[in-house]
Amino acid sequence: MFKNLRFDELNALVQNKRSMPFEQYFGEMNLTEDDKAERIKIAQELEDNFIVTMTLLFTMTQAGKIHYEIARKQIEDSYLETLRKYTDVDKYLSTYIKGFSYDVIDSTRKHKDQPYYYSLDRAKYMAENEVNTATNHTRYMEAVNSGRTMKRWESIMDEVTRGDHRDINGKYIPIGQAFHVGDSWMLFPKDMSMNPSLNQVVNCRCTVIYF
């Protein structure tokens, strides 16, 4: 499908883009200015890494020689390298990132003829989502280790906010307990430790305030 296309031509085919500018995406979240700035910086680095993956997959597809494991390992290694600049990567994060790399490759295999799965928009969309997943875990561990005892779920209340996330907005619970969000349980937004439904996780912009 892509043999006679340049990478910019492929990106022009992508309709219904899913990402938004990082300043807007993180700017709408209930975060400190320092936290917003750090998430934007990490997202920019992750986006660069994921663009490398997209162009690698695109080039291999054009050549008819797709080595998915090479692309998967590039995702895992570059994600870990970026994150280690900003935080300690514990077992939860390293396991999550490995699983994420396999998920990206599996979805690319399943949609190998769709331009979006090789696109710049996908790279940006993954970057903004992954920053929230990793940073929310880091903030939770920092709160636990600093002796915080309570937490409150904070949702962005706009037209695209999920109903389940509207319902839990402002909910206070002890820090060690999980929030009941629709059909899922999570210690914090985008927490994957209790196998939540993906429809409660993907592109979630919620945050938690710790007390």
Instruction: Tell me the per-residue pLDDT of 72-123, one tens digit each, with 9 for 90 and over.
Output: 999 999 999 999 999 999 999 999 999 999 999 999 999 999 999 999 999 9
Binning pLDDT at 50, 70 and 90, where does residue 206 land? very high
Residues written for the chain: 211
Residue 199 confidence (pLDDT) above 80: yes
Cα 201 from Cα 83, distance rounded (Å) = 20
Residue 1 confidence (pLDDT) above 70: no
Residue 187 confidence (pLDDT) above 90: yes
Give one word for 135, left, alpha or beta, with left for phi > 0 and alpha for psi -120 to 50: alpha
pLDDT (tens digit per residue) in 13-67: 999 899 999 999 999 999 999 999 999 999 999 999 999 999 999 999 998 899 9
pLDDT for res 3: 75
Binning pLDDT at 50, 70 and 90, where does residue 2 land? confident
Structure tokens at 150: 């309570």
Angle value at C-alpha 46, between 81 and 83, nearest 5 degrees: 35
Helix (H, G, I), strand (E, B) or coil at 143: helix
Which among 56, 54, 58 has a CA at the least distance from the CA of 46? 54
Structure tokens at 30: 């209930």
Structure tokens at 123: 């790279």
Domain boundaries in the chain? 1-146, 147-211
- Average pLDDT, whole number, for the chain? 96
The sheet that has 172-174: what strands, in order across it?
172-174, 150-154, 207-210
pLDDT (tens digit per residue) in 138-169: 999 999 999 999 999 999 998 889 999 999 99
Residue 207 confidence (pLDDT) above 70: yes
Task: Report the largest interatomic distance among the alpha carbons of the chain, rounded to a whole angstrom.
Answer: 58
Structure tokens at 63: 């050549």
Torsions phi, psi of 19, nearest 5? Answer: -85, 170
